[in-house]
Amino acid sequence: MKLNLIITLAKLSLNVAAGGATIATILGFAGGLSWFFELMDHPRPQYCLILISAIVVGGIYRQSWSFFWSIPLILNLALILPLFLPPAEKVSNLQDPPLRIIHINLDRHNLDTTLAINYLEKQDADLIFLQEVTSRWLTHLESNLSRYRIVTSLPQENSLGVAMLLPIQPSKKIEVIATQIIHLPSYSDRPLIETTWRWGDRNVVILSLSLIRPRNSHTSAFQQIELNAVADWSLNQEKHDAIVIGDFNSTPWSSRFRNFLHKSNLRNSQRGFGLQPTWLAGLPSFLTIPIDHCLHSRSIVTLNRGTGDNIGSDHLPVFVELRRRI
């Protein structure tokens, strides 16, 4: 009798959770009406897990009505599954050399620098961008890195500090032409690193960014302004290949991010490589979401992409290996 009661309560709780996931699924499409609804656009993999569990348990106990949960499940999967599908274009006629880039959010609250420095020392990258760089972090990096050197930095005690690292022995086929700190939009207090490289026989312009976190209606609106400014920046690079990498504080299936991709004419390097969640790094992977991204011009192909080790930050590192088409 007691066991039956526990099972009944468990089924009820699961169906209540599935109902909540269904409501959140629908409200997530209404992000244009409220910043809070826009937040509901992000945990779609978690909605899927809840809905699948409800369908399976309902099937076991022959609750035919539980298959209603397949409707919101399909809506969520329609947005997520394209990340597992490779681009339609065939990867051919690629031009050497490859360009390997790593993006790392250090987390200014992370006081243990050992994990991050050990991770950096094991990497074979042409370019490394760091976010949330404080003066303390910068001092430890300068003192302990042996394979990379800091070429551009703007440490800050809030979450806005940035830095760019290059290998001590860089590739001879890739050359840095210019690097500067910019702001998008121009009145933003968030520094972005823009660097131009000679890559093969053409130039590529790379932008490292960290967009504001949408915590309320004001910050959510400003994130949209930032995305519009970055999209305009991308379109202004029409004479060069462009790469944008960093913490977008947005998932790839969200309406806001998909609209940005369309407007900027950039491709998501994550396409064909699956979810690769990056935040919150301290949680089990099934509770995390991907908010750190690398986007690039259509003339560029992603050969490899992944997330790095947990370095004590709330974000996992992201690394990409890119090549250009001839």
Strand, helix or coil at 147?
Answer: coil
CA 143/CA 140 separation, integer angstroms: 5
Pull the structure tokens for residue 184: 């998008």
CB 270 within 8 A of CB 305: yes
Backbone angles phi, psi at 196, to 5 degrees: -110, 130
Give kind and range of the element (H or E) at residue 187.
Answer: none
Q: What is the mean pLDDT of each run of 10 residues along the chain (326 residues)?
A: 77 91 97 96 98 92 87 98 83 76 97 96 97 97 96 96 95 88 97 95 95 97 98 93 98 98 97 97 96 97 96 98 88
- What is the phi-psi region of residue 286: left when phi exceeds 0, alpha when psi lies from -120 to 50, beta otherwise? alpha
Q: Which of 317, 285, 269, 298 is nearest to 49 (CA)?
A: 285
> What is the residue extent of each domain of the chain?
2-84, 94-325
Per-residue pLDDT, 8: 78
For domain 94-325, give its CATH number from 3.30.390.50, 3.40.50.720, 3.60.10.10, 3.30.70.260.
3.60.10.10
Per-residue pLDDT, 64: 82
Per-residue pLDDT, 90: 59
Name 127's bridge partners.
101
Identity of residue 288: T
CA 22/CA 264 separation, integer angstroms: 31
Per-residue pLDDT, 11: 81
Per-residue pLDDT, 93: 65
Which pTM does this prediction carry? 0.94
